[in-house]
Chain A
Amino acid sequence: MGCVDIGKLRAFCDGEVASGEAKQIETHVARCISCREQLDGVRKAGSFVAAKMNAIAPLPGEAPPGIEASLAAIRRREPRLATKTAEGNTARGLSRWIGGLVAGATFHWRASVAGLVAVAVVISLVALPPVRTIADDLLGIFRVQKFTQVTLDPGTLKNLPNFDPSKMGTFDGITREPSSSTVASPAEAAARLDFPLRLPQHLPAGVTNNPKLAVTDSFSVAYTFDLARATTYMASMGITGIDLPKSLNGQKISGTMPVHVIASYGEGVPGAAMALFQGRSPVVEIPDGVNLDEVFNAIYSLPGLPPELVVQLRAIDWRTTAPVPVLKGDTSRKLTVDGVEGLLVRNDIEKVTVLFWQKDGIVYVMAGDVADSDLVAAANSLK
């Protein structure tokens, strides 16, 4: 092989050349000083620019507005787009929700990360548009050991103000989006995980056994609450009568989403699509001295929160339990899956079923637009 052009070297750095060619490049570079120097230059420029470019990625407080608000704005600009019924919205919401959850939050990760933060968990949990945001967090505070359902009528959340956690504190520790990449084989995925990869041995009829595997590396974020700014912000939103959590002032809460993998089967095939998320539980660390009761009481006293939701949220042990929203029209039940207790949620309009469970420290979420029993059978066949 002759000298390697700069574009090839750049692709080589990103693992974007075929493996045979990569070997040839390696061999050549080992022998050729000028190519070695050029490769070094390409690498250095690449990492220099990557670091700078990371600075312009949106931070958690810089996410777009809620989807319904955006759609409403588009409808105003394009009157030909009809206004949808509330029911339609709910159904689509669930589909997005499940998708977001199962897709591992590659693009929702900021919302998920915000959700890692104690305050933001519940705020985003009830923020509009309800369904999607809530579900973005398959996270609890501390560590997820089990799932519990929270029954929700999205219509009752309309009066809730849209809070922006970045106005009440500072996010830091994020410089980039977590990198999610598709890997070629289960072995390759397994090599990047710190737990054994398990895949279903029996798939529902019609689902092809050719999973697309996407691994997302661990990432974390920290949030520091600022009492003075929160007070000003609440006042600017016209909200009074909330005892903001003083013990949280200046405390840094950090959240970590460990490495996880999503296997998707039959993507885009109606009636035969399935996906499985698996990863260690997200972890939230809260410093000693923070009075969590105070934090939660402040959240629960936010205006616009329906009392029946507050009752359900109060009953949750946040240290171990992640809430799963169950919408009007959904059915849900507890069941035994993979040898442990799990939660099943079914939406008949979308014909989608989602299963949640935790086993040996690994959180599993499996979803499919297949029959409940088929999905459970697939979950029971994980190996």
Chain B
Amino acid sequence: MQGENPNDKPMVKETGLGATLSDSLLLEQLGQGRSSRDGAFEEIFARYRHLVYGVLFRMTGDRDEAEELSQEVFLKLYTHRFRSGESHNLQGWLYRVATNLGFNSLRSRQRQRNRLDRLAHERPEHGSGSDPGVEVLRQEERDAVRQILATLPERQAACLTLRQMGLSYAEIAQAVGVSPGSVGTLLARAECTFKERYLSNDKEANYGMR
């Protein structure tokens, strides 16, 4: 099965050698009887949970929420029935579900923030670092980045997040559901808009303070 299609080749980042079973074999087992299914599920979980959590933390900025949504992703996997004969790409599937949940949370968080903003001038959350000034700045920067991500089209936000995680264009393409040739265009557009909005927010913020 493996080797026929280069896209089938799993990028095993977490387990490397420890992963003696290929992703496609695990997926096959996931579709089988209960005991092999549960074993396969846990192996997949061990293999990919850091990737999934990584996506969700970046998008939500909240450990608890990232963890809860990660569980959601794997619960979806457990109940998802991959069509037999379908050329699955497990990693791409997981990234797709994760970025989708992450983006929804990012959006709804943004809506919430906008409501709050109208009610009161929001204070940035204080971190717990020894230098509160630095922590506040870091938190502000993180908030600003997520705020802008929320305004981008979902695919573009996903591209930026996955690229930051060091994924190749081929991997991003699988996760986002486009051809590898379109990733460059998506990234370039996303970066251009991101930069524009970030700089104009900065300007507004400075203007407002003075």
Contacts and interface: CB of A to CB of B under 8 A. Distances in A.
Contacts of A264: 16-17
A7 B184 contact: yes
A103 B13 CA distance: 7
B70 interface: yes
B142 A267 contact: no
Nearest to B20: A270
**Do most interface residues of chain B lie in helix, strand or loop, or is the interface mixed?**
helix
- Which of A14, A95, A108, A271 has most chain B Cβ within 10 Å? A95
Interface stretch (B81-89, B116-124, B185-193): B185-193
Contact of A177 (B61, B71, B165): B165
Contacts, number: 227
Nearest to B12: A267
B189 to A, nearest CB: 8
Residues of A in contact with B, size category: 35 or more
B16 A275 contact: yes
B181 A7 contact: yes
A179 B166 CA distance: 6
Residues of B in contact with A, size category: 35 or more
Contact of A5 (B18, B20, B130, B185): B185
B28 interface: no
A12 to B, nearest CB: 8
A84 B130 CA distance: 42
A45 B192 contact: yes
A275 B13 CA distance: 13
A53 B145 contact: yes
A10 interface: yes
B183 interface: yes
Interface of A: 5-12, 14, 16, 41-42, 45-46, 48-50, 52-58, 62-65, 67, 70-71, 73-74, 77-78, 80-82, 84, 88, 92, 95-100, 102-104, 106-108, 166-167, 169-170, 176-177, 179-181, 224, 226, 229, 262, 264, 267-271, 273-275, 350, 352, 367-369
- 6 cross-chain pairs, A with B, having the tightest CB-CB distances, nearest first: A99-B18, A7-B185, A103-B16, A99-B15, A7-B184, A11-B184
